[in-house]
A and B are shown apart, each in its own frame.
Chain A
Amino acid sequence: MRRQSANSGVETPPPFAVIYNPKVRSALYQFALVLALLWLAYHFAVNATANLGARNIASGLGFFSNTAGFGVNLSLIPYDETDSYGRAFLVGLLNTLLVSGMGIVLATLLGFAIGIGRLSSNWLVARIAGSYVELIRNLPLLFQILFWYLAVLSTLPGPRQSLSLLGAIFINNRGLVVPTFRQTEGFGYVVAALSLGALATIALGLWARRMRDRTGRGIPILGKGAALIVGLPLAIFVAAGLPAEVELPRIVGFNFVGGTRVIPEFVALLIALTTYTASFIAEIVRAGILAVPRGQTEAGLALGLRRGQLLRLVLLPQALRVIVPPLTNQYLNLTKNSSLAVAIGYPDLFAVFAGTTLNQTGQAIEIIAITMAVYLSLSLATSILMNWYNSRIGLIDR
């Protein structure tokens, strides 16, 4: 109608089929694609169900409540052989989260230190940081994991010949054994003192900032904060009559009893993931800092900022805008790479669930699909978090 009125006075164009309308056509194509994908998914599901049924292969998610029957040597939640596959899944998931979470924190710290070190004006520091990056990022990760596990940690002495620190901490080829602290009656006071100290420090910090804004003079709060957070609970701890007992590890039979043990598989995997990812993060950090115009450095120096202040207050906040998006990639890589744990027997999600559980139940489709969904969710969650952080630190136009 509109077309006709727009063309009024001019010769009416020949009527054309609605299918030539670009909008209709594009919608039609998209609809067809979605339909085809749905059909494909439906076909896969039906075909898989039929084939599994025909071949007598169990299907469905009923196995989750069956007894797992196998042991796992690292579990953050209580677990034994009589627990279900569902619980074994949780154990594996938590182990993956543990190594990925710690890996991300440590890799970030190490990566920033090395990235900044590479830009240092100190020749030796810059060269060492540079060699680190070139060496570590160019060797395959699996090789590095095996190196730490087989070439470094395996060569430690056995439990009876453990290297000992003060007779309380032991290092051997079964891991690192440290004493356990167990709280006794009265430990609540110490916790209360710690919370009080932390709250007071936060209040102090806010007050110090307001005073600085008002007077232009900074008030150092590091010492006071430390006294509040460490000193106060310590004083209460002594005053309450040392309400904690230390359980020293001692060797009984084959292994240490008592204390807490960090297994070598975890240590090897954590070191390898951390150092490997840190070498990439270092380059990202270097690129981010170099992306800040040189004028900013000069302006900062002209204002009389010290090197550390310049980095912390001027360069890093601007560099972060460049650093965060590629940093997200590295976090995702680290999480996904943690599945290489299977090579050294660290019981992560992939080993416990997509390995042992899959083999025992034979339900490859369900288990692989669930495992993929878990890694996907972990990655998406990391992305969402990092995107939120990125938008928060972005330049705000005023």
Chain B
Amino acid sequence: MKRVVTMFGRTMLSRKMLGSKILGRKILGRKILGAALVLGLSTAVSSAQTLKKVQDRGALLCGVSQGLPGFSSPDDKGNWTGFDVDVCRAVAAAVFNDPAKVKFLPLSAKDRFTALQSGEIDMLARNSTWTSSRDASLGISFTAVNYYDGQGFIVRKSLKVNSALELNGASICVQTGTTTELNLADYFRSNNMKYEVIAFVTADETVKAYEAGRCDAFSTDVSQLYAERLKLSSPGDHVVLPEIISKEPLAPAVRRGDDQWLTLVKWVQFAMLNAEELGVSSKTIDEALKSTQPEIKRLVGTEGTYGEQLGLTKDWVVRIVKQVGNYGEVFDRNVGTGSKLGISRGLNRLWTKGGIQYAPPIR
């Protein structure tokens, strides 16, 4: 049984790595496959220990978005880069001491949770909003918020709209299967405004429709708006409106029922935050190894057995920080001031610097 599942996983993977565009029929195929897995073969999946399975396989299967600059997108050589991608790379670095041992599966918003439920992926790092119903009824567990986001709108400058409250009667493009669809409905209803929603399956279709003028505005999480704006033919003609209409805590997720794996993925994220807080970066990691400060010693494993407790090695944080970087480095490199997106840290600053990113201590 277990073998069948793995083989399924691999075949699906190779097909997707070809970069085939996911079309309506394929989605049905995948849904049915997902349902079939849950129906018949899943006993093996749920009882298996994810960490052991990942180690045996020699690679982490990570679900990401289908190409969102800054978060997860393949470059011209097929290497995936981005903020979400680095979450997976950090887990791979901690487990294998090699951030390259990840296989990325691009998933549409609509398919992402089914893929995780059915065991097609080990973890999902796809700018997914943590909500109560997703937590309670999807059979998945969110690990820790790695990006505090909110929903906004992008419009053409030529419309001369300065506020989302001026969008009464507008046509708005969204991606289906997202919290965006629901927030949009709430926002317009609570402000007594009318709107027309056109929902597409992939982000690309949504942006294409917006660019073609099918909609007046395109709505999604603000971080994505900045990323998608880069894909427009003349990004300067479009403006992101100031209103943030929702709370979107984005977090990676794992399948429910494997606490060891949940803890591991969660603490990889916390380790990166703690590293930034203690000033340990990929550049200063060698000095940190010689540090006498107890907090840093616990972090880099020169004191205690915190890595082993998680099912990893003593130097797990060293592996992560050396090969991927701390939270601040990852943020700046992919979406922050060091990237094309140029998003300011905002809420995602550390709690010591006026933000709300706060990790429990390693001890």
Chain A: residues with CB nearer than 8 A to chain B? 44, 47-48, 51-52, 54-58, 69-73, 80-82, 142, 150, 154-155, 158, 173-174, 252-255, 257, 264-265, 339-345, 347, 350-351, 354-356, 358-365, 368
Contact = CB atoms under 8 A, between A and B. Distances in A.
A85 to B, nearest CB: 13
Contacts of B27: 342
A362 B213 contact: no
A253 B168 CA distance: 8
Nearest to B111: A359
Given A51-B38, A343-B201, A354-B28, A154 B171 contact: no
Nearest to B27: A342
Most chain B CB within a 10 A radius of its CB, from A52, A71, A347: A71
B209 A345 contact: yes
B35 A359 contact: no
A276 to B, nearest CB: 15
For the complex of A and B, the 9 pairs showing the least CB-CB separation, nearest first, are A359-B177, A57-B139, A58-B137, A55-B139, A81-B185, A154-B212, A362-B138, A71-B197, A342-B24
B203 to A, nearest CB: 13
A254 B138 contact: no
Nearest to B169: A253
Interface residues of B, number: 57
Given A255-B171, A359-B110, 4 more contacts: A56-B256, A142-B25, A150-B212, A362-B138
Q: Is the interface of B mostly helix, strand, loop or mixed?
A: helix
A361 B134 CA distance: 8
B42 A362 contact: no
Interface string B103-133: 0000001100110010000000000000001
Contact of A56 (B40, B139, B199): B139
Interface in B167-221: 167-171, 176-177, 181-182, 184-186, 189, 195-201, 205, 208-209, 212-214, 216
B198 to A, nearest CB: 5
Contacts of B208: 150
Most chain B CB within a 10 A radius of its CB, from A254, A350, A354: A254
Nearest to A66: B133
A354 B177 CA distance: 10
Contacts of A363: 137
Contacts of B134: 362
B4 interface: no
A347 B198 CA distance: 8
Given A142-B24, A173-B214, A368-B31, A356 B137 contact: no
B67 interface: no
A267 B136 CA distance: 40
Most chain A CB within a 10 A radius of its CB, from B31, B169, B199: B199
